[in-house]
Every structure is written in C-alpha cells, then in structure tokens.
Amino acid sequence: MLDWLMVPIDVARPHEIGGLVAWHARLMTLAWGILVPPGILSARFLKLWPGQRWPEQLDHPGWWHLHRVFQYSAGVLTLAGLWLILRAAPQSGTAIAHHLFGWTVLALAAVQFLSAWLRGSKGGPTAPAADGSWHGDHYDMTFRRLVFEHVHKFGGYLVGLIAVAAIISGLWQANAPRWMWLLIGLWWGLCLIVFAILQRRGMAFDTYQAHWGADDVHPGNRIKPVGFGIRRHEAGE
C-alpha cells in the first residue's frame, strides 16, 4: 500500500521538481488548498458563534478574527510562493494551463484584499460615527457596501474554485505521487461535507442581523441580503 501511494499519478512520467518550484507548490497548496476553505467556512457559517445567545448577544467577532487569520495567513504564503516561482528557472511550455489558473488566482486574490480594505465604515450602535450617529457604510448598506459584498462574496467563491484548478494542474504538471492527490482530495471532500451539513442546518446566517438584530428599525433589514442560501429572521420572529 505504501509503495502504491508513493508512485506518481502518471506512471509513464517521473516525479521531478526543482527546489524553488517544490517550495512554491507546497506554499501555494497550503495557502489555497488547506487554509482558504476553512476561512470561507468560518465567514459563512460562524456569524452566530457557538454558544452565542442571539439576539440577546449581538455582533460576536469570533468569525471575523478566524476568517482573517486563515485568509491573511494564506495571503502571506501566497506572496512567498510568488517570490519563489519568480526566482525559479522558467518552466516548460506544458505548464500553460497552470500559469493561467495561477495568475488568475493572484489577480482575484488582490481584488479580494483590496475590496476588504475599501469596504467603508461599519456604523451602528457598536461602531458609531464621529458625530455620534449610527451612520456607516455597513449599517446604512450604502452603494459602496453593496459593491463590496457582491465583489467579496461571489469573488471569494470564484477564486476558490479557480484555485482548485490551479492546484490540480500543478499536481499534474509535477506528476505528484498518489498520496498527495488523496490527502488534498480528502481535505476538500471533508470541507464540502461540512459545508453541506452547516448549510442544511441553516447556519449561513445574515451578517447584518448577526450584527444588529432583526428589527426593521435597522435599514439593512429592509433590503434583501447579498448572497445565496442566506438565512435571516423577519421582524418579530
């Protein structure tokens, strides 16, 4: 069994990969294959933190800190992986698909971080404006905030899917041994199972209501939440 696991996925080709390229592959796989999926899960399903008594307890920051730890860690590893591959010797032309997927991931990742940094102010009772009012881009759901939510949510899922293609094409290009394919596949499969279970349990809760409750006095509760499969409460429930 061990011998079978160590054999490259394509037995007709050798598994040969240089030092810098090998570390590029390891860092990028760790970033996008291992860290990003739970970062997405935490942002989608932990808006109501385990044990939190909503709506008595509002605006729990646990999901936010967890999401940032995963995604910023992935960002640092991505920059390191990019630096390594730029220093490595040019690869053969058969890696065109991997290059295309990889650069697309980098471009979309830059958009994700940029959109997060430009998302605007929060507002609301927990983060009032300088004049003491509750006005803020998130609380008022301004155009700026709506653009951010569309770009960040849908762009996040898109870059995650393209990252899967980048990793698979990279594994094929390197002719990675079978144990790598199995390990990464099992991790992705586990993440998909967790996603399905938590979605079925209705844990994809609306960010706005997690912050400020379901009362119609809050302007964001009068518009449809951004995203698919998002659960929210109607006023009075």
pLDDT in tens, 168-209: 999 998 899 999 999 999 999 999 999 999 999 999 999 999
Helix axis angle for 62-87 and 19-28, nearest 10°, is: 160
Does 10 fall in a domain?
no
Does 185 fall in a domain?
yes
Residues 6+ apart with CB under 8 A from 109: 75, 78, 159
Residue 224 has pLDDT above 90, yes or no: yes
What is the tens place of the pLDDT at every residue in 142-177?
999 999 999 999 999 999 999 999 999 999 988 999
Task: Reduce the DSSP state of residue 8 to 3 states and report it.
Answer: strand
Q: Are 148 and 120 in contact, with CB atoms under 8 Å apart?
A: yes
Task: Reduce the DSSP state of residue 48 to 3 states and report it.
Answer: coil
Q: Which domain holds residue 56?
A: 17-222
Q: Are 232 and 225 in contact, with CB atoms under 8 Å apart?
A: yes
Kindly indicate the confidence band of residue 126, based on its pLDDT and cuts at 50, 70 and 90. Answer: confident
**In whole angstroms, what is the distance from residue 25 CA to residue 19 CA?**
10
Task: Reduce the DSSP state of residue 160 to 3 states and report it.
Answer: helix
Helix runs in 88-175, H state only: 96-117, 137-140, 143-174
**Least confident span in 5-14, 76-85, 107-116, 217-226:** 5-14
Name the residue type at position 222. Answer: R
Cα Rg for the chain, rounded, in angstroms? 21
- Residue 199 sits in a domain whose CATH number is 1.20.120
Mean pLDDT confidence for 75-87: 96
Residue 235 has pLDDT above 70, yes or no: no
What does the block give as tokens for 69? Answer: 């730890």
Does 232 fall in a domain?
no
Phi, psi of 231 (to 5 degrees): -95, 140
Mean pLDDT confidence for 13-38: 92
Q: Are 198 and 63 in contact, with CB atoms under 8 Å apart?
A: no
Residue 90 has pLDDT above 80, yes or no: no
Helix axis angle for 178-200 and 36-45, nearest 10°, is: 0
Does 94 fall in a domain?
yes
Mean pLDDT confidence for 32-59: 96
- The pTM for the full model equals 0.92
What does the block give as tokens for 153? Answer: 């949510």
Does 146 fall in a domain?
yes
Residue 56 has pLDDT above 90, yes or no: yes
Mean pLDDT confidence for 98-108: 96
Does 233 fall in a domain?
no
Task: Give the count of domains, the chain.
Answer: 1
Among residues 51, 156, 80, 59, the alpha carbon closest in space to that of 113 is found at 156
Per-chain mean pLDDT for the chain: 93
Mean pLDDT confidence for 48-76: 96
Residue scoring higher pLDDT (178 or 18): 178
Does 115 fall in a domain?
yes
Task: Reduce the DSSP state of residue 135 to 3 states and report it.
Answer: coil
Residue 92 has pLDDT above 70, yes or no: no
Kindly indicate the confidence band of residue 93, based on its pLDDT and cuts at 50, 70 and 90. Answer: low
Q: Are 143 and 9 in contact, with CB atoms under 8 Å apart?
A: no
Does 212 fall in a domain?
yes
**pLDDT > 90 in the chain, percent:** 82
**In whole angstroms, what is the distance from residue 116 CA to residue 228 CA?**
20
> What pLDDT, on a 0 to 100 scale, did the predictor assign at position 162?
98
